[in-house]
Amino acid sequence: MARIERVELRMVDLPPKVLRTDAIQSFVSQETPIVTITDSDGATGTGYSYTIGTGGSSVMRLLSDHLVPRLLGRDADQIEAIWRELEFATHATTIGAITAIALAAIDIALWDLRAKKQNLPLWKLAGGAKDRCPLYTTEGGWLHIEKQALVDDALQAKAKGFKGAKVKIGRPHGSEDLDRLSAVRAAVGAGFEIMTDANQGFTLDEAIRRSQVLRDIDLAWLEEPLPADDIDGHVRLSAATQTPVAVGESLYSIRHFREYMQKRACSIVQVDVGRIGGITPWLKVAHTAESFDMPVCPHFLMELHVSLTCAVQNGRYVEYIPQLDDLTQTQMRIEDGHAIAPSEPGIGIDWDWDAVKARSIDEFTTEIRS
């Protein structure tokens, strides 16, 4: 039995590759906590998570002061037990983003370690449902982008074989959203999916109104139309529109997802491995969604979500937003608009450690040993 002997912590601050704006915010930074666990056999596993510019320092202190010391000496293969113990040890700060982001980096590292030691890629270790998954792109659909640029990006994505494109909504008047989306639909035709994302920017009445205004566009989904903690509002909206409602990137507990599903407050599940607390709870949410006949279309983190989406039967799409190009030696493989699950043992992230170390913030770089 190999026990955890050493944990290395780093945080890298990655600037977004393009300007990213939505109905409530602009992305200025991508703080990326990175955790590397070494066991007594000398095997290592690396996990990571992210913020969109705030909270990274708090995540790192939670890791170094409270979570990582509890890992030392533990059997690294007892992932479920470790996750539960760490969640309980921080119960005063759960349920919420800071703790979930910290837990995710640890949990992903443990799964990476397990997969490497079993000589299996994550998508097979976690289920092995398929080896590829369709892509849709978000990178050309941000709210500030002008109408013709939206059209051009959607056409480029279609030409590459992508199955859809996401367009942010939440312009001051619904007629503006309609004008932009109508132009995209006219250009791409009926066989290409258009996803929309309001980023929690609407009130219930406005969400219902916009869903009616946009009804004839034949949208794949309406994502995060309301504040994520307004479950009743999502129930009322889902009953008022034929457009599927998608939620998940701002939910931090398997029980929150259960309640959404039970109340039919959504019909598409976008569970984010970096925000739910790692692979361990991600798989629980995905399997629960399958029992409700709901697809999983995870938010962001394409380099990791390709493996998880391929692991489960109801994984439908991977969201194309490149995140780790500056920190990895190879990028996610794409063939005919599909993300290809990595075949190498582990989570499939080919870290460029020279680049990681060069961009790590000294204040948060530390090593903790047993």
And the tokens for 13? 């601050």
Known active-site residue 168: yes
And the tokens for 77? 């293969």
Q: Say if CB 327 and CB 353 are below 8 A apart.
A: no
- Among 166, 299, 305, 338, which one carries the catalytic annotation? 299
Type and span of the H or E element at 276:
helix 273-276
- What are the beta bridge partners of residue 48? 34
Give buried/exposed letters for 66-84 (b at 16+ CB in 10 A, else e). ebbeebeebebbebeebbe
Q: Say if CB 302 and CB 321 are below 8 A apart.
A: yes
Q: Say if CB 253 and CB 236 are below 8 A apart.
A: no
Known active-site residue 299: yes
Q: Say if CB 164 and CB 195 are below 8 A apart.
A: yes
And the tokens for 65? 């002061």
C-alpha 361/C-alpha 353 separation (Å) is 14
**Residue 255 CB: number of other CB atoms within 10 A?**
10
Largest separation between any pair of C-alpha atoms in the chain? 62
- Among 168, 234, 256, 338, which one carries the catalytic annotation? 168
Nearest of 322, 328, 331, 332 to residue 351 by alpha carbon? 328
Give buried/exposed letters for 284-309 (b at 16+ CB in 10 A, else e). ebbebbbebebbbbbbbbbbbbbbbb
3-state SS, 295-358, equals CECCCCCHHHHHHHHHHCCCECCEEECCCCHHHECCCCCEECCEEECCCCCECCCCECHHHHHH
- Catalytic residue numbers read 168, 299
